[in-house]
Structure 1
Amino acid sequence: MKMTQLLTSKKIIALSISAALTFSVNGQDKVETIQVTGSYIKRTAVDAAEPVQVLDYNFIQSTGATTVAELISKLAISSGAENQADSYTQASTQGTGNVNLRGLGLSSTLVLINGRRQTISGAITNDGSVFVDTSHIPIDAIEQIEVLKEGAASTYGSDAVAGVVNFILRKDFEGFEINAGISKVTDSSQKDTDIGFLWGTEFNNTYITVSGHYLDRTPLSTADRPDLGDNAFSSLGNSFLLYPIQADGSFDFSPITVAEGPYAGTYAPFENVADPSCLDDELGVLIPQASGTRCGFNYGPIYNLVNTETRTQLYTNISHDFSGGTQLSADLSWSSNKVKDNPQSPSYPDLTFPFISSIHEGNPFGTGVIWLGRPLGADQDPALAPRKNETFRASFNLAGSFENNWGWDTALTYSKNTYTQYQQDQLRSRLVAALAGEGGLNNDELFNPFDRTSITDSIIEDFTHITKSEKNTDLLAFDAVIDGRLFDMPAGPVNFAAGIQARKEGFHVATDDVYEINYDADGNPIPVDLIFLAGLSEVDVDRTSFALFAESLLPVSDNIEVTAAVRYEKLENDSSFDPKIALRWQASEKLIVRASASTAFREASLSQMNATAATINGISDFNPDGSAKSPAFVGVLARGNEDLKPEQSKNYNLGLIFKATSSLDFKIDYWRVDYTDLITVENAQGKIADDPNGEDIIRTAAGLLSAIEVDYFNSSSVTVKGIDIESVWKINDQFNLTFNASHFLTYELTKDNGEVVEAAGSFNYDNFARSLPEDKATLNLNWVGESQRASVNVNYISSYETAIALPENESAKIDSFTTVDTQYSATFGITEESEATITLGIKNLLDEAPPRVFNGFGNLSYDPKQHSPLGRVFFAKAKFAF
């Protein structure tokens, strides 16, 4: 990688650190200090140069959230995360959670647990993003969450481009708490039931804290919210395209007449003919074509908006204080999340679009036809596609101090995730055999697509296959840091920290023999024996990295302090040098000015470099005249690229902190990220729009779209600018008001074809950005009494627009979305040493429905990356403390 720099800041940092290293250590006593995410230096200033938002335990409890995903969805700075079920655009991340700071992508946010790295999930998004799975973290165990709202590669290394989210878990707890809760959607049977506990004790300077949480979630079907899935249908139900070729190979373009039977009528060559029984099932739909009619399949009511799911999470912290100030601690955690149903269409359409000859036993047309359909239709039970997500983490930390008041801190952290995915499809070879009368378990049965009532259980069992894939990720990280006071300047001591980090990460993919992608002698992928799913390549790779870093805090004057940091990271095939400089100026008693400039980077993930994987996307093909066809789901084959370069960014922040009174403050920050060499996967819709007949657009002999091949690549640039606002008003001893907002000024990106577009305020259906409302904001009012408390939370997401071609009855505008959550708690004494707390609340008090989104035919009619489909939810919780 080319060495990055920010004008002269690199020289300033190098001079300040080298100067710091030339002085001997001062042995003065330490002042009470704290360490904030984004720095290794402990300091007395609460409002440091780094823009950090802190969500403390009381705030987290006031939201009523039962999962980390629910909590993250309310963060103003997070936009476009995948925290809800959506089988259409995020089918391979169900049962997980993530964060997307600044909307810069799931891979651009670094997630830490107790300040240490965590392995990424084995789940991979449709656009190839990798992420740390936040569903591993039990919400009951969280002490506070610190959100660093700027790049932090100089401190933490790769991935901290958009910022850092640090989950700080509870420890040193004494007592026992057990809690249980239930939340239920008001107009549906969907409910969440959860139970958790927290126990801690201390003996002989040893502290033990144990926490556990179990969640049982029941489903919410799209059938219960039909307006959210009314565009989720396919034109490929069961239809036939008359292809006028005879048994002897000659063509006959004469009209085709069927004298009797369900297909009786006269048809033109190349006309679409729908199955006459199409409307016998309520999920069948007739779709007019330029020539004839197709039988479509309204699969929307089959799918879930919320899946049946169970989550089990365990966490423990054990620490011991030795004489002399040395402390040994260990964090151990394990989680198992299971998506138990995840219903899908009974079968996918056959994207090979088989040709059925004129002499097929069931063919009533007397001429060849191309079958546009799926082996199993609306008359069959849905196929289930369960997911299993298991994570283990162990972190061991040994810290202490030298006699000269310098401190040292070492940690060894190992984490592993296994994501298992099941998906049903049909074997192409066995379907072809069945069409030829050689199907079934004894190879002697005929599958007649012209008469769906003739299909037997033996045929279904013979050509149906349930694929299984398992992705394993693991990370071993060693950290060592020293920090202390170097010397005194007239304005105060110069503090310094330095350290090393070594990491080894692995990525392993295993799948069944049918689903595995193999390659021919020329290195080209061999199509798997499935009619729809395009397969997955087996991978077994790992890599290592090593980093040196240093940081110095210099009090330039009584009112100005400068922080300088630098990190050198040696990657397996590259390297990165990332400096940072930050300034904090106490301009007056009430006004603080802060500014920072830094560089950051993100290394390509092992999956982006080595794996080939297929996803299923709704794609609009094009007619010869250039008009768009109705979207249909096709396989998109994403190919790994070993030549990917690390992404690079330059990050800037300028902020003001105004303390109007001792109880009211305002923080406003202008930020900018200049992102280059962004790693993304080619947008399949954009690719076919640019060239419908390109070499990577796979079509059948009849010209029908079958699949699209896309590659990971380094795109040119993204420039993102915005403003964050935060205010806390402690009205009195009982009332507290908190406001947070994030606004995009611009999100300028370059599409695959080189076109520069503005993504802020857009749904971004045809580029690599996610939906990006310009504004998100939260307002939280808390009242705390002696034994009672109450809260009101207002969550706002601004409107945005889509540029997709719209039917007449659809709107390009996606309305704003405002929800109000409220809760009340009361605490009662049970005995002298125990108490109970009862909480009652309502989420989405006004029963606001998610705004309608037209995302093409074949997808949900709302945006699950921004809005909730639940409506009003009542919840109740009980906590008993002993």
Structure 2
Amino acid sequence: MKIAVAAAAVNLALTSSVVVAQEQEQEQDSIEKIRVTGSLIKRTDLAGPSPITSIDADQIANTGVTDLIGLFTKLPISGQGTFSTQGNSSDDTANGGSSVSLRGLGADSTLILINGRRVSVSPFAKGIDTAFVDINNIPLSAIKRVDIQKDGASATYGSDAIAGVINIILKDDFEGVEVSAKIGDTADGGGKEQNLSLMFGTATDKASHTFILDYFDREEVLYADRDYSRSSNQAALRPNDPDAVDFRSSSGIPGTIALASDPTNRIIDEFGNDTCPAEDIDRANNLCRYDYAPYMSMFPDAERLSYIYLGNYELDDDMRAFVEFSGQNSKSVVRGAGSPSFNELFMSGDNANHPFADDPTHPFYGQDLTMRRRTVDIGNREKRVDTDYYRAIVGLEGEFGDWSWETAYSYIKSESVERGVDGFPNSRRIQEAIDSELWNPFEPSSNSQEALDYIETTTTRIGKSTNKSLDLVFSGPIAQIGEMDVMMAIGAEYREEAISDNPDEQYLRGEVFGTEATQANGSRDSTSIFAEVIVPVSDTFEMQFALRHEDYSDFGTTTDPKISFLWTPMDTLSIRGSYGTAFRAPSLHQLGLGRTDESPNLVDTARCNAVGLGCQPQEYTAIFAGNPDLGPEESTNYNIGLIYEVTDNLDFSIDYYSYDIEDIIDSDTQFVFTNFGTDSSVVERLPTSNPSDPGEVVRIYDSFQNIGDLETTGLDLDVGYTLQSDMGDFRFSYVMNYVLKYEEYRPSVDGGRRLNRQEGEFEQPEVRYTAAMDWSRDVWSASVAVNYIGEFDGSADAGFGDKTVDAMTTVDLVVNYVGFDNTTLTVGATNLFNEEPPYSHHDFMGFVNTTHSGQGRFMYAKATYRF
């Protein structure tokens, strides 16, 4: 029976979602039982009821991507919350990290496994609270295949599997030596890449060993390297668009001078020797602006060195040992413009450096002053992130009678050090330098090197994440229905997790402005027991039942069931379905976050309504803290699908999915700001002489709550067609994800709930697809793929909900030649026609960098030699 769908999700035909992940080896002409992704039971048949897509190493190579996140961003099933290193900046809290969000349900709701076992999360959370597995830790050269389970799987794997599971299977059966080298470059500057890998392995009747070394280096891409993002003044870049916004910072150099008693009473610094450049003067708002975009990283410089060893040892006829040791050192360099200050600094009226000390006729004479001022004089900001990742698995597996068993101990650790090495001022020392008249903020050219050295600081942030676990699983037959076995698996797992994310004392004292950092510390342990039963009701109908109970040390217990079926009424037709519950435990970052400064872009609705100020989005300081009283997110999901082999050459599958998630953990700072903007306990403001003006914001206080609900439904479609001809063999494929409903709810002021976001709105395209063609003939092969991301509405939060962000279509091409002995030569390009990301009004870079890529055309050449 053939029920495979040769559909591809990334410039190739992928194995159909009905063909589950498998490790198939033949031994003495008999097929071993194998464990498939989505099930704990070893079995000889390969098909199961869960919708799973498998992508092997050759298919990944044909995409032209150089890391895992490049692959996942092309998958139609990947949605909002998938993030790469694009957009890393001096304000980011997870620089150098990447992760994937299946169906747009969040990176923390997508469970990442390696060889079926968990991975420790990054010690540095994304956006201060999103715990994620950094998939940059896994080099492509080590991957045998990637399995994607597209329905909830907490009944099998526990927490975080709300959206599904990505199981990364490593190469463990390689024999020989293989060397591979790849170079590539972008069309518009920056982003040059080099990749070198070495793999060698041996195998005997009793043991096998696989070693992998991989080196990856990519130079940075700055926003200055792209015409559409080279300036934060999008209004100047797009003079024909009356709605384009000037996003230049209100904190310039030498800046804007204001009265400390009333910061709204301000003037542009055009006095003395150092004055605001003419091109940065904003007369309408009395501001000296600053164009920060050219100095910011679009993609940071990245260097990664990885090593992996996998070994299997036969101890006797019924017992084997396996080990896995892997590690990686990764380095990233992230850049940003000089640090801004927004009325945090003051100068007394009798200071000798007072700009109007010699002008008693000026209204500011003798008055205490504050300022909007950017410390460009100590350099632009530069962060260096150094991460060491280690993973060790030691286990045993074997058989007794018809039953098999497996047990393993896992230890995974990730340690990161983030250092601010340039451009970071210490606010306490700056104020001291102003008060002592050592440093003059209004005349930068007059300041000595001694003064600059005094106000500049270096910052340090140290993070560590560990995951230790011990698991045991038994599986085997418990009964028979006719000649078919009823199979069962039972098992238990004990897991300990811990994270620490600690910036230096300067951060904790709030002395480093112009950047963000988190502080979080926490640990937990959990114990789980689980069971699974597969019942072959008939030759054509199979049921699968799973149940998992988990006990967490920090929030209690949860029990999650799942039931699924596979019905094959004809050899060419199968129908599958599943129903289950899933959960996500609150992350240790969300529970244990200490005082953390964020700089979100927000609209000051209260002040805008009162006096017409603060109506445009700009950065504000938001103070976050963890919430130890959080509960888990809980989900109910179901899937129903059909797989049909129309002819020997044409087949397709279609699946309908539904998720209903409750008690989503999140924060909504704009909601807090809008609805509690005049509450002094929530929003702290500077006093003003105008009784109608609530005043400029100093800081906003916020935290995490179980505040959200989410309902989403959609369709997954895979179509595959093969054609053999005199011109070669062709494979055509089309893979689409269509979101029927995506409704995210948040609390409203009246105590009910409001619709916060839905399908088709900002960052929520309804349609994504990849259409691909593979061709092979003799020693040549080629693949071409068209990747489509549909249009969506502009950002309503930024005031552009009436705009549309257009669809984006890119084309990838790869050509392989195997005419030389043991050698494969490859040339290719991603985004072959150098398509620019569609324009969005919402932010300074002019495009939605959470959805679209600014890399542009990337051309590469690769050579692989095996001996």
TM-score range for the pair, normalised by the shorter chain length: 0.7 to 0.9
- 1:523 aligns with none
Q: Is the 8 A contact 1:467 1:512 kept in 2?
A: yes
Q: Conserved in 2, the CA contact under 8 Å of 1:594 and 1:655?
A: yes
For 1:346, the aligned partner's letter is G
* 1:125, distance to aligned residue in structure 2 (A): 1.3
Aligned equivalent of 1:654: 640
Match 1:561 to one of 535, 542, 554: 542
Correspondences of 1:375-386 after superposition (within 5 Å):
375-377=374-376, 381-386=379-384
Q: 1:618 aligns with which of 593, 601, 605?
A: 601
SS at match of 1:58: helix
Instruction: Report the CA distance between 1:735 and its aligned residue.
Output: 2.0
Q: Structure 1 residue 425 and structure 2 residue 424: aligned? A: yes
> What letter corresponds to residue 426 of structure 2 in structure 1?
L
Q: Note if contact 2:759-2:766 (Cα within 8 Å) is conserved in structure 1.
A: yes
Gaps of 5+ in 2: 1-28, 233-246, 357-363, 689-694
State the Cα distance separating 1:801 from its structure 2 match.
Answer: 1.0
| 2:737 alignment partner in structure 1 | 742
The match for 2:774 among 782, 788, 791 is: 782
1:719 alignment partner in structure 2: 711
CA distance in 1, matches of 2:274, 2:568: 73
Aligned: 1:575 with 2:569: no
State percent identity of aligned pairs. Answer: 28
Matched, 1:142 2:124: no
The structure 2 residue matched to 1:515, chosen from 504, 507, 521, is 507
Aligned match for 2:835, one of 834, 844, 848: 848
User: Pick from 390, 404, 409: which aligns with 1:392?
Assistant: 390
CA distance in 2: counterparts of 1:778 and 1:283, whole angstroms: 48
Against the structure 1 CA distance between its residues 337 and 136, is the aligned structure 2 distance closer, same or farther, given a 3 Å change threshold? same
Aligned to 1:11: none
**Aligned match of 1:414:** 411
Q: Which residue of 1 aligns with 2:297?
A: 304
1:697-776 aligned within 5 A: 697-702=683-688, 703-732=695-724, 734-753=729-748, 754-763=753-762, 771-776=763-768
SS at match of 1:297: coil
Q: Distance in 1 between matches of 2:372 and 2:592?
A: 34
Indicate how the Cα distance of structure 1 residues 276 and 813 shifts in structure 2: closer, same or farther if over 3 A, else same. Answer: farther
Could you tell me how far 1:631 is from its partner in structure 2?
3.2
Q: Contact 1:820 / 1:845 at 8 angstroms: preserved in 2?
A: yes
**How far off is 1:123 after superposition?**
1.9
Query: What is the match of residue 234 of structure 1?
Result: 249
Alignment of 1:13-162 (within 5 A): 33-80=33-80, 81-87=82-88, 91-126=92-127, 128-162=129-163
Q: Does the C-alpha gap of structure 1 residues 91 and 351 become closer, same or farther in structure 2, counting only changes over 3 Å?
A: farther
Offset at 1:536? 4.3
The aligned residue for residue 173 of structure 2 is 172
> Closer, same or farther in 2 for the Cα pair 1:570/1:30, shift >3 Å?
farther
Residue 822 (1) aligns with residue 813 (2): yes
- Distance in 1, matches of 2:209 and 2:272, equals 66
- Cα drift, residue 397 of structure 1: 2.3
Q: Deviations over 1:505-528 (max 9, x none)?
A: 111233322223xxxxxxxxxx52
Deviations 1:762-790 (A, max 9, x none): 22xxxxxxx22111111232223332211
The alignment partner of 1:607 has SS state of helix
Could you tell me which amino acid in structure 2 is paired with residue 840 of structure 1? V
Give the 3 Å change call, closer, same or farther, for CA 353–619 of structure 1 in structure 2.
Answer: farther
Q: Distance in 2 between matches of 1:497 and 1:30?
A: 23
CA distance in 2, matches of 1:45, 1:204: 25
What is the correspondence of 1:281-360 to structure 2 with a 5 Å cutoff?
Answer: 285-289=280-284, 293-340=286-333, 342-354=334-346, 356-357=348-349, 360=352
Asked if the contact 1:468/1:511 (under 8 Å) is kept, the reply is yes
Write the letter of the residue equivalent to 2:546.
Answer: A
Q: Distance in 1 between matches of 2:52 and 2:203?
A: 32
Task: Name 1:200's counterpart in structure 2.
Answer: 201
Residue 635 to residue 491, structure 1, CA distance change in 2 (3 Å):
farther
1:185-225 CA distance string (max 9 Å, x none): 12324311111111111245211101111111112221121
Inter-partner Cα distance in structure 2 for 1:114 and 1:244: 60
In the alignment, which residue of structure 2 is the partner of 1:24?
none
Contact 1:84–1:864 (CA under 8 A) maintained in structure 2: no
Kindly state the Cα deviation for residue 358 of structure 1 after the two structures are TM-superposed.
5.9
What SS does structure 2 have at the residue aligned with 1:871?
Answer: coil
Q: Sort the Cα spacing of 1:428 and 1:138 in 2 relative to 1 into closer, same or farther, 3 A.
A: same
- Give the 3 Å change call, closer, same or farther, for CA 577–538 of structure 1 in structure 2: closer
Flag the 1:538–1:583 CA change in 2: closer, same or farther, 3 A.
closer
Moved more, 142-151 or 696-705: 696-705
* 8 A Cα contact 1:234 1:631, kept in partner: no
Query: SS in structure 2 opposite 1:70?
Result: helix
Q: How far is the alpha carbon of 1:578 from its aligned partner?
A: 0.5
Gaps of 5+ in 1: 1-28, 246-250, 252-267, 439-444, 517-526, 764-770
Whole-Å separation in 2 of the counterparts to 1:139 and 1:710? 40
**In 1: Cα distance, 2:71 partner to 2:850 partner:** 14
Query: Is 2:515 the partner of 1:528?
Result: no
2:224 and 2:293 in contact (8 A); partners too: yes
Letter in 1 for 2:228: D
SS at match of 2:189: coil
| Structure 1 SS opposite 2:428 | helix
Q: Distance in 2 between matches of 1:879 and 1:239?
A: 55
Change (3 A) 1:192 1:534: closer
Whether contact under 8 Å (1:534, 1:635) holds in the other structure is no
Task: Look up the match of 1:812.
Answer: 803
Instruction: Tell me the residue number matched to 1:213.
Output: 214
Counterparts of 1:276 and 1:669 in 2: how far apart (Å)? 68
Distance 1:308 1:841, change over 3 A: same
How big is the shift at 1:880?
Answer: 0.8
CA distance in 1, matches of 2:119, 2:43: 26
User: Take 2:272 and 2:405, find their aligned partners in 1: how far apart are those partners?
Assistant: 75
Give the match for residue 5 of structure 1.
Answer: none
Distance 1:284 1:178, change over 3 A: farther
Q: Cα gap change, 1:851/1:191 in structure 2, threshold over 3 Å: closer, same or farther?
A: same
Equivalent position to 2:849, from 854, 858, 864: 864
2:526 pairs with one of 527, 545, 553: 545
**2:824 equivalent in structure 1:** 837
Once the two structures are TM-superposed, the CA of residue 31 in structure 1 deviates from its matched residue by 6.7
| Equivalent position amino acid for 1:818 in 2 | T
Q: CA offsets per residue over residues 60-118 of structure 1, 9 Å max, x none?
A: 11101111111111111111311033146971222112110011111000000000011
What's the offset of the Cα at 1:427? 2.0
Q: CA deviation at 1:630?
A: 3.5
Determine the C-alpha separation between the residues in 1 that align with 2:190 and 2:221. 8
Q: Quick check: 2:210–2:309 contact (8 Å CA) kept in 1? A: yes
- Name the stretch that deviates more: 628-637 or 101-110: 628-637
Shift of the 351–172 alpha-carbon distance from structure 1 to 2, 3 Å rule, reads farther
Distance 1:534 1:226 in 2: 28
Residues in 1 aligned to 2:78 and 2:757: alpha-carbon distance in whole angstroms: 19
The aligned amino acid for 2:413 is: K
Q: Counterpart of 1:111 in structure 2: which amino acid? A: I
Call closer, same or farther: CA 1:371–1:719 in 2, change over 3 Å.
same
Q: 1:350 to 1:356 in 2, by over 3 A?
A: farther
Matched to 1:672, the amino acid is S
Amino acid at match of 1:322: L
Change (3 A) 1:446 1:683: same
Matched residues in 2 for 1:304 and 1:278: separation? 32
Contact 1:67 1:139 in 2 (8 A): yes
Partner amino acid, structure 2, of 1:329: F
